[in-house]
Structure 1
Amino acid sequence: MFTTVQARFLCRKCLRQTTGRRVQLISTVPFRKHLKDEAKQRRINNGKAKPKVPTARGSANENWELTVGIEVHAQLNTTHKLFSEAATSFNDPPNSHVALVDAAFPGAQPIFQKETLIPALRAAIALGCNVHRKSEFDRKHYFYWDQPAGYQITQYYHPLAKDGFITLYDYDGIAPEDGKEVRVGIKQIQMEQDTAKTLHQLPSTHLLDFNRVSHPLIEIITLPQIHHPATAAACVRKIQAILNAVDAAVLGMELGGLRADVNVSVRHRNQPEGQGVGAEYSGVKGLGQRTEIKNLSSFKAVEDAIKAERNRQIDVLEAGGIIEGETRGWNLGSTGTRKLRGKEGEVDYRYMPDPDLGPVIVGKDLVDYIRRSLPPLPDDHFKVLTSSDRHYNLAPKDAKTLINLDDGDRVEYYKNVTDEVRKGLLNYRDGSRSYAESDEAVVKAGKMTGNWVLHELGGLLATSGTPWEENPVGESALASILTFLSLKKITGTTAKTLLSLKFDDPRPIPQIIAEDDLTLRPMSEEELRGLANEVMRGNERMVKAVKEKGEVGKVGWFVGQMVRRGVEGRVEAREAERVVREMLGVGDVGDRK
Structure 2
Amino acid sequence: MFARSTRSTLAAASKRRYVCPLCLRRARRSQLGDARLPTQIKSQSFQTESQPPPPQDDTPFRKLLKDAAKQQKKEKGSSFEQPATSAKSTDPRLKKWELTVGIEVHAELNTARKLFSSAATSISETPNTHVSLFDLAFPGSQPHFQKETLIPALRAALAFNCEIQHKSSFDRKHYFYQDQPAGYQITQYYEPFATDGKLTLYPHDFPPGAAPQPGPFDIGIKQIQMEQDTAKTVQQPPSTHLLDFNRVSHPLIEIITLPEIHDPVVAAVVVRKIQNVLKSVNACTTGMELGGLRADVNVSVRQRGGDSSEAGHSYHGVTGLGQRTEIKNLASVKAVEDAIIAERDRQIDLLESGGVIEGETRGWTLGSKTTKRLRGKEGEIDYRYMPDPDIPPVIIGYDLIEHLKRTLPKLPDVNVDSLVQTYGLTTKDAITLLSLDDGSRLDYYLETVNILLSQTKGQESDVPLETIGKIAGNWVLMELGSLFHSEPWDPTRIPPNFLAGTISRVRRKQITSPSGKRLLSIKFDGDRRTVQEIVQQDNLLLSPLSNDEYMSLAQSLLDEKPEMVKDIVEKKQTKKVMWFVGQMMARTKDGSVEPGRAEEVLKGLMGLGEEKL
Task: Give yes or no for TM over 0.5.
Answer: yes
Deviation at 1:235, TM superposition (A): 1.3
Contact 2:310 2:356 in 1 (8 A): no
Change (3 A) 1:27 1:475: closer
Within 5 Å, give how 1:11-410 maps onto structure 2: 23-25=11-13, 36=38, 47-51=73-77, 55=87, 58-173=91-206, 175-272=210-307, 276=310, 279-387=313-421, 390=422, 392-410=423-441
Partners of 2:523 and 2:107 in 1: CA distance: 38
Change (3 A) 1:262 1:539: same
Could you give the per-residue CA deviations for residues 313-372 of structure 1, whole angstroms, max 9, x where no partner exists?
Answer: 222222222221111222222222222222111122222222222221111111111111
Q: Helix, strand or coil: the match of 2:321?
A: coil
Deviation at 1:27, TM superposition (A): 12
Deviation at 1:158, TM superposition (A): 1.2
Amino acid at match of 2:280: A
- Select 1:495's aligned residue among 508, 512, 516: 516
Contact 1:461 1:471 in 2 (8 A): no
**Map of 1:412 onto structure 2:** 443
Amino acid at match of 1:478: L
Amino acid at match of 2:475: W
Could you give the per-residue CA deviations for residues 159-198 of structure 1, whole angstroms, max 9, x where no partner exists?
Answer: 1111111111111118433331211111110111122222
Q: Helix, strand or coil: the match of 1:207?
A: strand
Deviation at 1:469, TM superposition (A): 5.5
Contact 2:511 2:542 in 1 (8 A): yes
Contact 1:52 1:335 in 2 (8 A): no
C-alpha RMSD over aligned residues: 3.1
TM-score normalised according to structure 1 size: 0.87
Deviation at 1:470, TM superposition (A): 5.9
**Map of 2:48 onto structure 1:** none
Amino acid at match of 1:151: Y
Structure 2 unaligned segments of length 5 or more: list them: 26-35, 42-50, 52-66, 80-85
Partners of 2:292 and 2:452 in 1: CA distance: 37
Could you give the per-residue CA deviations for residues 247-279 of structure 1, whole angstroms, max 9, x where no partner exists?
Answer: 111212223211111111111112239x64652
Of stretches 60-69 and 184-193 in structure 1, the one that deviates more from structure 2 is: 60-69
Partners of 1:240 and 1:589 in 2: CA distance: 53
Deviation at 1:129, TM superposition (A): 0.8
Matched residue pairs, number? 560
**Map of 2:47 onto structure 1:** none
Change (3 A) 1:134 1:222: same
**Map of 1:459 onto structure 2:** 482
Change (3 A) 1:44 1:424: closer
The question of 1:426 aligning with 2:488 is answered: no
Partners of 1:381 and 1:399 in 2: CA distance: 8
Within 5 Å, give how 1:437-516 maps onto structure 2: 437=463, 443-463=466-486, 465-466=487-488, 468=489, 472-503=493-524, 504-516=526-538
Partners of 1:268 and 1:403 in 2: CA distance: 41
Amino acid at match of 2:494: V
Deviation at 1:471, TM superposition (A): 5.9
Contact 1:245 1:377 in 2 (8 A): yes
Q: Helix, strand or coil: the match of 1:365?
A: helix
Partners of 1:246 and 1:26 in 2: CA distance: 19
Change (3 A) 1:55 1:334: farther
Change (3 A) 1:27 1:482: closer
Change (3 A) 1:573 1:423: same
Change (3 A) 1:106 1:513: farther
Structure 1 unaligned segments of length 5 or more: list them: 3-16, 429-433
Contact 1:55 1:311 in 2 (8 A): no
Could you give the per-residue CA deviations for residues 416-466 of structure 1, whole angstroms, max 9, x where no partner exists?
Answer: 2223223322321xxxxx33135xxx6422222222222221232122x21
Partners of 2:492 and 2:367 in 1: CA distance: 34
Amino acid at match of 2:125: D
Partners of 1:99 and 1:320 in 2: CA distance: 52
Partners of 1:259 and 1:83 in 2: CA distance: 21
Contact 2:103 2:295 in 1 (8 A): yes
Deviation at 1:71, TM superposition (A): 0.7
Change (3 A) 1:299 1:567: same
Could you give the per-residue CA deviations for residues 284-337 of structure 1, whole angstroms, max 9, x where no partner exists?
Answer: 112111111111122222222222222222222222222211112222222222
Change (3 A) 1:402 1:257: same
Contact 1:128 1:165 in 2 (8 A): yes
Amino acid at match of 1:544: K
Contact 1:73 1:259 in 2 (8 A): yes
Deviation at 1:563, TM superposition (A): 2.2
Structure possessing the higher relative contact order (Cα contacts under 8 Å, 6 or more residues apart): 2
Partners of 2:414 and 2:372 in 1: CA distance: 40
TM-score normalised according to structure 2 size: 0.84
Could you give the per-residue CA deviations for residues 556-583 of structure 1, whole angstroms, max 9, x where no partner exists?
Answer: 2222222223212222222222222222
Q: Helix, strand or coil: the match of 2:11?
A: coil
Q: Helix, strand or coil: the match of 1:158?
A: coil
